């Protein structure tokens, strides 16, 4: 932040301005769980790989449907099919590559209200599924836009307070706002108490009831910051 001099178009005199960057900070209690699921398989033939990916996805949708979700709740984040090779040594000890097949990688997500009981049911179902996909658990917020607006409001408030302190100390007065600069960058409201957890690690979890693990997670608040820059005329 600092004092700047700007020339106004169509005027002979110079306009004195002050430019201040305000910082907003909020702590939000997460109220949603986001389960990121990753499934991959290798098949020799391309068509078999596509067929396998479709079958696996349908099985996952069946699994979540039995838990009370709608099939459309399981959403694709990323899907890819790529060739797979392996290195080997031939008889003369030189290294070569040979084709192994086609591997699909399907990254999906499903979100639901933060509830340890329901999370325990989901983890139990995944752990006892023949698919055994890899997954990670994230906690987030349902109303992201509300949180973003609150954060921006606090950033502007902070810039006003700083500008008032500076102009009071300099014995001048704030005039009208000339410009507001904000990046509109993406803000991620996420905390990860169980990042990159694998189903292998869940098979020995205690059960709270038939068909559910006893999950006791209290996710930390999500702390986020953002900035906004305001330019005022000095009256």
Average pLDDT, the chain: 88
From residue 186, alpha-carbon distances to 64, 182, 189, 228 in Å are: 30, 12, 10, 14
Would the pLDDT of 140 be above 80? yes
Nearest-Å Rg of the Cα atoms of the chain is 27
| 214 occurs within a structural domain | yes
Would the pLDDT of 3 be above 60? no
Would the pLDDT of 191 be above 80? yes
Distance (Å, rounded) from C-alpha 79 to C-alpha 83? Answer: 14
What's the whole-number mean pLDDT along residues 187-207? 63
For 229, how many CA atoms within 13 A lie in the half-sphere containing its CB? 9
| 226 occurs within a structural domain | yes
Residues 38 and 84 in one domain: yes
pLDDT bracket for residue 210 (50, 70, 90): low
Would the pLDDT of 220 be above 50? yes
Q: Which residues form the domain of 27?
A: 1-31+142-235
Residues 56 and 79 in one domain: yes
What CATH number has the domain bearing residue 78? Answer: 3.30.70.2970
More confident residue, 90 or 31: 31
Distance (Å, rounded) from C-alpha 20 to C-alpha 201? Answer: 50
| 134 occurs within a structural domain | no
Distance (Å, rounded) from C-alpha 158 to C-alpha 50? Answer: 54
pLDDT at 50: 97
| 130 occurs within a structural domain | no
Q: What is the total count of domains within the chain?
A: 2
- pLDDT tens, position by position, 27-81: 999 999 999 999 999 999 999 999 999 999 999 999 999 999 999 999 999 999 9
pLDDT at 193: 76
Spell out the residues 6+ positions from residue 55 whose beta carbon is closer than 8 angstroms to its own: none
What CATH number has the domain bearing residue 217? Answer: 3.30.110.170
pLDDT at 144: 94
pLDDT at 212: 80
| 213 occurs within a structural domain | yes
Residues 224 and 162 in one domain: yes
Residues 204 and 178 in one domain: yes
Residues 23 and 42 in one domain: no
What's the whole-number mean pLDDT along residues 219-232? 94
Nearest to 128, CA basis, from 211, 220, 225, 214: 211
211 touches 124 (CB < 8 A): yes
| 128 occurs within a structural domain | no
pLDDT at 218: 85
pLDDT bracket for residue 4 (50, 70, 90): very low
pLDDT at 204: 47
From residue 44, alpha-carbon distances to 15, 38, 57 in Å are: 72, 20, 19
């Amino acid at each position: 932040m600092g004092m700047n001099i700007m020339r106004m178009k169509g005027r002979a005199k110079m306009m004195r301005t002050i430019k201040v960057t305000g910082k907003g900070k909020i702590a939000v209690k997460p109220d949603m769980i986001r389960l990121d699921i990753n499934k991959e398989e290798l098949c020799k033939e391309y068509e078999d790989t596509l067929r396998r990916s479709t079958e696996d996805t349908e099985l996952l949708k069946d699994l979540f449907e039995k838990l009370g979700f709608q099939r459309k709740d399981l959403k694709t984040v990323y899907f890819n099919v790529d060739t797979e090779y392996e290195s080997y040594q031939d008889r003369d000890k030189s290294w070569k590559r040979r084709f192994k097949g086609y591997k699909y990688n399907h990254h999906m997500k499903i979100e639901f209200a933060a509830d340890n009981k329901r999370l325990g049911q989901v983890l139990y179902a995944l752990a006892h599924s023949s698919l055994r996909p890899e997954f990670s658990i994230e906690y987030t917020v349902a109303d992201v836009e509300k949180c973003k607006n609150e954060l921006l409001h606090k950033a502007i408030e902070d810039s006003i307070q700083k500008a008032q302190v500076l102009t009071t100390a300099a014995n001048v007065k704030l005039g009208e706002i000339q410009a507001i600069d904000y990046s509109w960058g993406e803000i991620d409201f996420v905390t990860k108490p169980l990042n990159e957890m694998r189903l292998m690690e869940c098979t020995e979890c205690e059960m709270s009831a038939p068909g559910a693990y006893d999950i006791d997670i209290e996710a930390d608040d999500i702390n986020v910051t953002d900035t906004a820059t305001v330019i005022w005329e000095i009256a």
